Amino acid sequence: PFDPYSAARTGDKDAAQKSENVVSLPRKRPPGEPAPDTYAAIDAFAKPDTDLNKGLRSIKDNDPSFEPKGFVDGAKMAYEMIVMAYADGDRKTLKNLLSREVYDGFVAAIGEREAKAEKIQSSFVGIDKADIVSAEMKGGEAHVTLRIISELISATRDKAGAVIDGDPETVAEVKDVWTFARDTRSRDPNWKLVATEEED
């Protein structure tokens, strides 16, 4: 199962505030007002006639306010928040950011950890790279997959405080492939994490 690490804690209040608008998109433009350079940002982001470009254009057609760069910035913020919340056992924040299926998996892992009185000691160093690798419409839902390379310090300690996994002194490179989705027919601008995969 996917096992995210955590970032430096910023407090529940700060996390709750951020969770309100993470990976948000601006409201749609009024009908009949397309921008003259509708696909300019997408063509600059992904080479025209590629599958990625076509997928991003399809999302743009369904949500005129979608911009790939803004999406990546929001996804990076969401990544850090989700990793923090998992390590802290913050179910409330996770519920706002994850699909039901992913949420159930994360909460099961948190419950297992808590039952053993284990704790994750971690700090988030930063994200080295975050690239969109695929984008598509599935019915009315936009799906965007990113490959994220981050640096994290993480160690799991048992009830007695002994390290049973990870290393509290070592920065580890973590490679993840995360997919976010949003119903473009909904007025809710927020995206949710719908799939996770960890690369070797």
Which stretches does DSSP call E strand in 27-162?
119-138, 141-157
pLDDT digits (tens, 9 = 90+) for 107-129: 999 999 999 999 999 999 999 99
Sorted by sequence, the CB contacts under 8 Å of residue 103 that are 6+ apart come out as 94, 95
Q: For residues 192 and 143, give the distance between their C-alpha atoms in angstroms, rounded to a whole number.
A: 10
pTM: 0.81
Check residue 22 and give its pLDDT: 54
Angle at 99 (CA atoms; ends 94, 100), nearest 5 degrees: 90
Q: Contacts by 163-167 with C-beta closer than 8 Å and gap 24+?
A: 164/118, 166/5, 166/122
Section 39-51 average pLDDT:
96
pLDDT digits (tens, 9 = 90+) for 128-148: 999 999 999 999 999 999 999
Check residue 38 and give its pLDDT: 86
Residue-range domains of the chain with CATH: 12-27+38-198 (3.10.450.240)
